[in-house]
Structure 1
Amino acid sequence: MKNRKPIRNLLLLIPALLMLLFSACKHDDLEIAKPNENFRLATDFVKNNYDLTLFSAAVEKSGMAETLRGKGPFTLLAPSNSAFNEIGITKASDFDKMNTDSLKAMVQRHVLDQQLTFNQVPVNGVDIRYHTLAGTDVYATLASYAPNNSAYPANNLYFNGSSVTRKDVSIANGIVHVLNKVMKVTPESTVQDWLAKRPQYSIFVSGLKKFGFWNKLSGTGPFTVFAPQNSVFEANGITEASVTTLDPAVYQGERLFGSYILNGKHFFISDFNVFYIINNEPTYSGQLENDSWYFIISSERNFYTAAVSYSAHLQTALSYPYDTYPAVTAIPALTDNLTDNGLVHDMQGLLLLPEQALKH
């Protein structure tokens, strides 16, 4: 009976001794690290990200996979799958229809040759240029806050008018920002070239030629053009044949066709929303060239998708009394077509009908 207590105490010590033994035998270099996306190179990151599978397919099919496994650093401006869906690309095989060089250039235009974090973009900076692997520039805009409302920053970041929906994802050789739209760039091309190559805008082009606005669109610019498609004109009873019969001596050309052109302006649709945030200007007003009327435009950002749409109309004056004409809108996926001398935005309506542009 006298020895039971020491034996019991010894039994109680055994678990503690075993824990010390196992602890002493632990080797950190034998532990298996948990998978972490931030350790992946750019190519491998997009390949393993469900929402970027189409961009990954573009990277592979364009021959850019090995480049993006390189040292970098890179900044990937990676369009989401839904961004590609908007322009009709729903599966990887859709890229097979594209010219390989064109596809490669498209991928390269979505990669900066430096690491650019959100905090490195100037606060309230508009159209800050950064260089891409394609040798082109991309325009970054960060709408942070109005000067009198710094307590509640919006922090809306855009590249070429495309909204950043996920920012500053660190990877082994750079940074990834996810975009809600594919950036549409046509290098070595003018606004005139862009319109001429797309037959769905032929009625609009005929009107620009008829009233003397066509030739200048090949010039230095910049120009911001809002272009209605043929279907829009036809829905209003206007055809290419009927446009050719319009007499410039009878109609106000600046209002009928010139109103679709902002001269000397380089505006992505997102810029109008940015102006609202940083300057508290809900609309942009531009006076028509050689005319007393005004082009009025405002834009709105969808809280859930970050898509930016616009509404525009003509107004006979800035201050009351004035007359306004019905507003027209756009499909966000068809806006922000960048060329060397400006931008083209698709417009889902007409600013003015011929009978409303008669000279009196």
Structure 2
Amino acid sequence: MDTVTRTPSPTKTILDNAAANGSFKTFGKAIERAGMGETLRGAGPFTIFAPTDAAFDKLPAGRLDNLLKPENKEELVALLNYHVVSGNTTVAAVGKWDTAKTMNGQSAPIKLNGDKVSIGDAKVTLADIASSNGVIHGIDTVNIPTKQ
């Protein structure tokens, strides 16, 4: 696989591992603003397709700041839940799927091109960061749900 795999800590939660990784600062901030931190520190298991900081940087100017405003919390929750799938699934297993049923209720298309997995418009760039309550796959684009 052409993705980078970080040494995970399976004793830490998804959010702890995301914070320790250093590539998911914006994702962590958005999760806390959305009020989803307690859930993602819970038992799970969750498979998170977490946009990296570089992925958030690709959003149109002002979009992230707007999403993080308290009055846009519902939209932020819908967007973040589009990056969460129930279960603890490795990227190899995800690559066998056609779609992933996300926690916001919508399905995101999965594509396997050679050994590279993508979900929606995003490519998996960091794979299989194991955690006590699931797994994180870093992605290079923030996927936007079709409806919120």
1:211-230 Cα distance to aligned partner (Å, 9 max, x none): xxxxxxxxxxxxxxxxxxxx
Task: Name the counterpart of 1:156.
Answer: 116
Report the counterpart of residue 115 of structure 1 in structure 2.
Answer: 88
Q: Structure 1 pair 80/89, CA: closer, same or farther in 2 (3 Å)?
A: farther
Q: 1:169 aligns with which of 96, 105, 129?
A: 129
| Structure 2 counterpart of 1:135 | 105
Q: Distance in 2 between matches of 1:116 and 1:143?
A: 18
- Which residue matches 1:246? none
1:106 aligned onto 2:79: yes
Structure 1 or 2: more helix by fraction: 1
Q: Which has the higher contact order (CA 8 A, sep 6+)?
A: 2
Counting matched residue pairs gives 139
2:30 corresponds to which residue?
58
Identity among equivalent pairs (%): 27
Structure 1: 5+ residue runs without aligned partners? 1-35, 145-154, 189-360
Between structure 1 and structure 2, the one with the greater Rg is: 1
1:70 alignment partner AA:
G
Runs of 4+ in 1 over 4 A off after TM superposition: none
- CA offset at residue 60 of structure 1? 0.2
- Kept in 1: contact 2:51–2:140 (CA 8 A): yes
RMSD after superposition? 2.2
- 1:90-105 to structure 2, matched below 5 A, reads 95-96=68-69, 99-105=72-78
Q: Residue 70 and residue 42 in structure 1: after superposition, are their counterparts in 2 closer, same or farther (change >3 A)?
A: same
The amino acid of 1:141's aligned partner reads K
- 1:102-147: CA deviations, max 9, x gaps? 1011111111012221221355x6xx11211111112111122xxx
Structure 1 residues 80 and 160 mapped into 2: Cα distance closer, same or farther (>3 Å)? same
- Alignment match, 2:39: 67
TM-aligned CA deviation for residue 57 of structure 1: 0.5
**Secondary structure at 2:79 match in 1:** helix
Unaligned runs of 5+ in 2: 1-7
The residue identity in structure 2 corresponding to 1:56 is G
